[in-house]
A and B are shown apart, each in its own frame.
Chain A
Amino acid sequence: MTINWQLLMPELIIILTFILVAIFDLFNSIQKTVAAWLTIVGCAIALYVSIDMLQVGMEGTEFSNMIQVDKYSLFFNVIFLVSTILVVLISMNYLGRTDRRQGEYYLLILLATLGMMLMASGNELIVVFLGLELMSLSLYVLAGYFQRSMASSEAGMKYLLLGAFASGFFLYGIALIYGGAGTTSIPKIASAITVNATSPLLLSGMFLLVVGFGFKVALVPFHQWAPDVYEGAPTSIAAFISAGPKAAGFAAFLRIFLEALQNIQSEWIVVVTILAALTMTVGNLVAIAQRNIKRMLAYSSIAHAGYVLVGLAAANKDGISSAMFYLLIYCIMNIGAFGAVILARTEDGESLMISDYAGLGFKKPLLALFMTLMLLSLAGFPPTAGFVGKFYIFRSAVESGQIWLVIIGAINTAISAFYYLRVVVAMYMREPEEELDFHPYPSLLIVALTLAAIGVVLIGILPSYFLSPAQISTFL
């Protein structure tokens, strides 16, 4: 059997980078930041290769149809790799030069990235599960990376416990579907299921997959781990968990439900619609009550998962492409927002209370500018990327007749503006309660934020350059 290695280039590059970082990490004499730079270079090459393959249109299956490399998976590779590069950039100053253990931090990030890529290209429920576990196990460790911090350890532990619980459901779902369809291969399941099949095995299996994905992408009511983990985990890891893994969860979610289970669409659309409405509403309502900015961003990212789910509920080609487009935008702006939180560090650590941001608009204009831009984009103001992203999501839902879901989404967008703008108002219109001594700007963080800011503005002004690749990359 010959393997077409070319097809797996991005994954191979990540594995190679992983090995290199692991080797370099053995030598204590070498600066630990080398690991970070290697990670960035490796991801950048993989990103370049993925974009190149996407443009050439290289497609195919490998490992006995277990891996399906197509434009869809390559587009998601781009999202994952962009997120990973941004996260590494915001991590470097955050961890500092003195951290002796940071080699393993980047190794785990690389592993998680590899897991995400497997999830997007998995053509087989088992492969998707393997990718999911590879990603999740790395994330559990990363969430607890600050061993000395109680909060970080607690976050890691909680994430592990709940994650294992959810993985159980996911695996059980796979087993039930195997029982119903007699196969775990996505295309074969699709042909095995007849239109509107009502086998209880299939339906329960389908629903347990929803639970598994619902946990991974933090849909209400399977979301409760998210705020605790985001708050306790290192901020750079909170940014990481909120971006790439969520996109990876949706990559598999969309592919399994719209390809393997498309014949029982009428069954799952009900639950997906309810979950989308519930997730948007609860996420935004609870975000209003938050005083800690990391928790606020956690609930906001829950709400954003709800918006993406609207794309799945639309269940058409435009729904997929707009969900892909939205995930790209969401990853950039959410990492940007967490990056701005890292930027606002004081001598006593991070300033996480929204009240700490009072008056920053004049004391730290650049920080406030980045934060404002990211929050405006998250709130969906034109001409930022967040606006066009929401626009396409809602339009696809309108096209498929989900008018009520769009109305709920629009109301939620209005609600969300309240808590996003509250931070902006605090920064520009409030006097600071106490004088906080902010750190000087770390240069790499500024680079990352500038990249994110350019991305957010550029996508907002020239959306079609980014949307059309998504539109030609859907699997439908």
Chain B
Amino acid sequence: MSKDLITLLLISPLIGFLINGLFGKWLKNVSGWIASLAVLIPFIISAFFVFPAVRGGGELKAMLYEWIPIESLNIGFHVDALTTVMLLVITGVGFLIHIYSIGYMSHDSGRARYFAYLNLFVFAMLILVLGNNYLMMFIGWEGVGLCSYLLIGFWFDRKSATDAGKKAFIVNRIGDFGFLLGMFTLFAAFGTLNFDQVFGLAETNTYEQVFGASTLIVATLLLFIGAVGKSAQIPLYVWLPDAMEGPTPVSALIHAATMVTAGVYMVARSSILFNLAHTGVVVAWIGVLTALFAATMALAANDIKRVLAYSTVSQLGYMFVGVGVGAYASGIFHLMTHAFFKGLMFLTAGSVMHALSDELDMRKMGGLRSKLPITYWTFLIGALAIAGFPLLSGFWSKDEILHNAWDSGHQIIFGIGLLTAFLTAFYMFRLIFVVFHGESRVDSEVESHLHESPPVMWIPLVLLAIPSLIIGAIVGWGGEHSAIHNFLKGVTGFVAHHGKAEHSNPVPFMIISSIVGIAGILVAWFIYRSKTPVSEPTNPLHKLLANKYYVDEIYNAVIVQPIRGVSHYLFWKIMDVGIIDGLVNLTAFIIRGIGGSIRRLQTGVVQAYVVSMVIGIIIFLGYYLFIR
């Protein structure tokens, strides 16, 4: 594994972005293939060069180049097992989604712009996971946020899309602000942002106690605020459901498989700090509450993509439970399996939309099983995987997280997680029965040109369905001694058990979660196999869920409106217009006045110029000869 290969891996999507961004106008249909190739190259490098090298115990920590001689402004790599897992997910799933997009976006006139953004996103995401310091991570973090904003608002002539883009951006800023403060804290404490140095100093307890004994607690919690924003956890999850306004492959890539998992990656990368600060328990609690909360909202949503969005929020919650209770490898394991099955489900949802002329309302679907067979079967695989059906990929990773939660002494978290698992199975199969089974409720006009997606779209579905089926068993078989645990062993630090030190027998946990998952599926089957979903909720609980607990309205009333009022009157009218603009205008007036009056010396008369030169000479010469 050489430095040059990593460089190629990193810049390949950047080159794709430049080609599509600069010459997209002339590329027409080729742009999608160029963009796909730009992601295929990094995937090949990750899979055939980086992965074998890292599995053989290799690590690459190299300086790509020194930008300017300031410690953490330099571009350096940190490639280890954790990075490798992320690389494989980003480039592997990313490549398939790029291919799928060629079909999905084939009729869109802005596809060169679309693929340029998509490549730029992959580039930023690679920076995020490859960086050897927090600043590079932050640059990637901001980069993916920017691309997310651009792609959510991709159809900028739709007001809802631009609003959703802005919402995502603004909510993320809150998180990013936390991340930034966390970075400042780390820098103040350690004098560096380099991972190895920070972790080394933290372990030997040799750092500036900027906040006394709670320095690390403050730093990790601030960093975690960043993760809460980026990974859509309570209370900053509100942007993710709205982000579904973007093109569906974007939802699959950015808002399911990769970007939103950056927070989980960050916590896993900082495992040493979180372990030392004992703040994992906060992470786990936020995670499990988000998991439950989002799952309940998914119960009542009727928009197919929103169900998937809430489900993503909920699954991200599981990942945070994993990394929060110290089971870092299990959290990353779930991140990986989730990337496959959730990416798959988003793409199948896109396939449904493609067939139904962009219909999103599940109540206007039904009976699609026979019309869209590939879509149906691949979606079913994804749903079974997320529901924790025995031996499918989601079963292994979710079970490990719950098992670790129990073993680390968090029985309540375990219980809530189990309840969420039941709800997950239930709402996913509610979706399956409503969309694919029962009577067709599709508009007759739409139904007339109902069609299965072209191969360029369904082949990626099949290729994602395969790992959704088997990857869990392959890498997760054997619990503590499974392939993924062995692979990640060196990176994620020690597993911090707060309670019991040793692992209990995993088999009972597997049986319990199997039962829970299958029970959820069965309940959904009893309720929805033939029933049409009600159009308007009647009972209060259902109404509460369907309105997403009125959180958006509460935020609007409690935060947005007051801020807007204060900023309009106090900050804008008085502070900004009155004081700041006044000062700026005054300064500008003075400077302009000085500039203008000096300008008047510039008469254009040569004699005057000579006079001014001579005056200058006399003053300086006088200084030298007489005053000095």
Contact = CB atoms under 8 A, between A and B. Distances in A.
Interface of A: 158, 161-162, 165-166, 169, 200, 203-204, 207-208, 210-211, 215, 221-222, 224-225, 227-228, 267, 271, 282, 285-290, 388, 391-392, 415, 418, 461-464
Kindly state the interface size class of chain B when it binds its partner: 20 to 34
A227 B602 contact: yes
A203 B602 contact: no
B68 A391 contact: yes
A221 B608 CA distance: 12
A285 B68 contact: no
A463 B609 contact: no
B610 A162 contact: yes
Given A204-B624, A415-B591, 18 more contacts: A162-B606, A203-B625, A204-B621, A207-B617, A207-B624, A211-B613, A215-B613, A221-B612, A221-B613, A222-B616, A267-B624, A271-B620, A271-B623, A285-B595, A285-B598, A288-B591, A388-B67, A464-B66
A458 B37 CA distance: 25
B609 A225 contact: yes
Contacts of A207: 617, 620-621, 624
A421 to B, nearest CB: 13
Interface in B64-83: 65-68
Contacts of A463: 67-68
B75 to A, nearest CB: 9
Contacts of B613: 162, 165-166, 211, 215, 221-222, 224
A165 B613 CA distance: 10
Nearest to B597: A289
A461 B64 CA distance: 12
B612 A224 contact: yes
Contact of B615 (A221, A282, A392, A415): A221
A286 B609 contact: no
Q: Which of B65, B68, B615 has the most CB of A within 10 A?
A: B68
A26 B135 CA distance: 62
A204 B618 CA distance: 11
A272 B170 CA distance: 49
B592 A288 contact: yes
A286 B606 contact: no
B66 A286 contact: no
List of 6 A-B pairs having minimum Cβ-Cβ separation, nearest first: A221-B616, A289-B595, A224-B609, A285-B595, A288-B595, A289-B599
Q: Which of B594, B604, B624 has the most CB of A within 10 A?
A: B624
Contacts of A161: 606
B596 interface: yes
Contact of A464 (B65, B594, B623): B65
Nearest to A287: B595
Contacts of A162: 606, 609-610, 613
A189 B237 CA distance: 73
A172 B50 CA distance: 69
14 contacts: A162-B606, A204-B625, A207-B617, A207-B621, A208-B617, A211-B613, A221-B616, A224-B601, A224-B609, A227-B602, A285-B591, A285-B594, A289-B599, A391-B68
A211 B621 CA distance: 10
A187 B613 CA distance: 30
Contacts of B625: 200, 203-204
A271 B624 CA distance: 10
Contacts of A228: 602, 604
Contacts of B66: 464
A324 B588 CA distance: 33
A169 B602 CA distance: 22
A433 to B, nearest CB: 22
Contacts of A200: 624-625
A286 B68 contact: no
Contacts of B609: 158, 162, 224-225
A229 to B, nearest CB: 11
A169 B610 CA distance: 12
Contacts of A289: 592, 595-596, 598-599
B586 to A, nearest CB: 15
A267 B624 CA distance: 9
B602 A224 contact: yes
Nearest to A220: B616
Nearest to B598: A286
Contacts of A165: 610, 613
B394 to A, nearest CB: 42
Interface in B572-628: 588, 591-592, 594-596, 598-599, 601-602, 604, 606, 608-610, 612-613, 615-617, 620-621, 623-625, 628
A415 B601 CA distance: 21
Contacts of A166: 613
Contacts of B620: 207, 210, 271
Nearest to A200: B625
Contacts of B594: 285
B617 A169 contact: yes
A463 B65 CA distance: 10
A288 B591 CA distance: 8
A463 B69 CA distance: 10
A123 B213 CA distance: 63
Nearest to A222: B613
Contacts of A267: 624, 628
Nearest to B74: A464
B298 to A, nearest CB: 43
Contacts of A208: 617
B263 to A, nearest CB: 27
Nearest to B604: A228
A203 B628 CA distance: 11
Contacts of B621: 204, 207
B74 to A, nearest CB: 10
A427 B594 CA distance: 27
A261 to B, nearest CB: 13
B584 to A, nearest CB: 10
Nearest to B75: A461
Nearest to B614: A165
Interface in B42-97: 65-68
A331 to B, nearest CB: 21
Contacts of B67: 388, 461, 463-464
A111 B616 CA distance: 32
A368 to B, nearest CB: 14
Contacts of A282: 598
B24 to A, nearest CB: 13
